[in-house]
Chain A
Amino acid sequence: MRKDKSEQHNNEIEHFDEEPILEDIRASLQKMDDAYPVTTPELSWFEHMIEVEQLQLKKKFRKDLLIFFSCVLIIIGLVIITLIQAPLIFLFLQVMVTCFIPIYVYLQQKNSEKII
């Protein structure tokens, strides 16, 4: 309780002591604000910029989607080919992946515990 009071007192002193300098900082920043009048562009300028950007985003999204589906098709194709042409290798890969996932999860958890 006493500690809290003294801490509060210290804070008050600190703020009281800092107040003039804070006022100077605020006044200086206000001066910077006033010194540079900002001219806001027309609404049409903003609209044009937004439309161009939205178009770019759409293009990027389509490109990413194309890459994603290409990867999916390649992976599924490889899986099917392995299943038909070499079922033993397919089974071996399945077992390896099934064993690897719990080991990977365990190692990840251990690493994150170390970081904390």
Chain B
Amino acid sequence: MEETDLIERAKRGDSKAFAFLFKEHYPFLVKYLIKVTMNSDLAEDLAQDTMIKCIEKIKLYNGKAKFSSWLISIATNQYIDTIRKNKRESNWKLQEQSVRKMKWDFDSRNEDWNDVMSSLGRLTDEIRIPIVLKHYYGYTYEEIGKMLNIATGTVKSRIHNGIQVIRKELNSDEKRQVRTT
């Protein structure tokens, strides 16, 4: 059955259609949230919250964007809401802990953890999210602006500044390595 038919059935309250839609998009949603939050446990919790929100708002989905894009924008807003509920300081600590845990996960699986990942982890969410959406998922600046409810210019400047920060950090790391050798 095609996705549009499933969405129409879901709008009429068909739980089976909803289940098919969610099962299809679940890995995509969780993987997106892992990259955005850098925390696999939080990503799974947020994926569930996103699905619940989706059940509530399905009648508002107009089909202009892909269903996956719609899910991503709901997930992003759920995450932003979660951050806003916490204090700035506790968010910063949580972020640091998440990155440290992710690094530990990588080490324990004998996978390479690199400086780019550390730099991405140090970026604030409002900068990392547009970078992930633009340079991994390939959304346009306009689409990202609509997803995050911010102006296109703001998206551009956040992405540009974020990349500049990563580049600077990588350059200083390289210099430090050269000095030590």
Contacts and interface: CB of A to CB of B under 8 A. Distances in A.
Interface of A: 18, 21-22, 24-33, 35-36, 38, 40-41, 43, 46-47, 49-51, 53-54, 57
B40 A29 contact: no
A35 B23 contact: no
B155 to A, nearest CB: 16
Contact of B34 (A30, A36, A43, A49): A36
A21 B164 CA distance: 10
B15 A47 contact: yes
Given A25-B135, A33-B35, A36-B40, A50 B111 contact: no
A34 B55 CA distance: 29
| Interface class of chain B by DSSP | helix
A53 to B, nearest CB: 5
Contacts of A32: 34-35, 38, 102, 117
Given A25-B120, A25-B166, A53-B55, A35 B106 contact: yes
Contacts, number: 92
B13 interface: yes
B131 A25 contact: yes
Given A25-B166, A50-B19, A38 B52 contact: no
| Interface class of chain A by DSSP | helix
Nearest to A58: B13
A115 to B, nearest CB: 16
Contacts of A57: 55-56
Given A22-B135, A25-B135, A35-B106, 15 more contacts: A21-B163, A21-B167, A21-B170, A25-B163, A26-B135, A27-B116, A28-B116, A29-B35, A29-B132, A31-B111, A32-B34, A32-B35, A36-B40, A43-B19, A53-B52
B26 A38 contact: yes
B117 A31 contact: yes
Contacts of A28: 114, 116-117, 120
Nearest to A40: B26
B19 A21 contact: no
Interface string B68-81: 00000000000000
B9 interface: no
Interface in B99-151: 102, 105-106, 109, 111-112, 114, 116-117, 120, 131-132, 135-136
Given A31-B117, A47-B15, A38 B135 contact: no
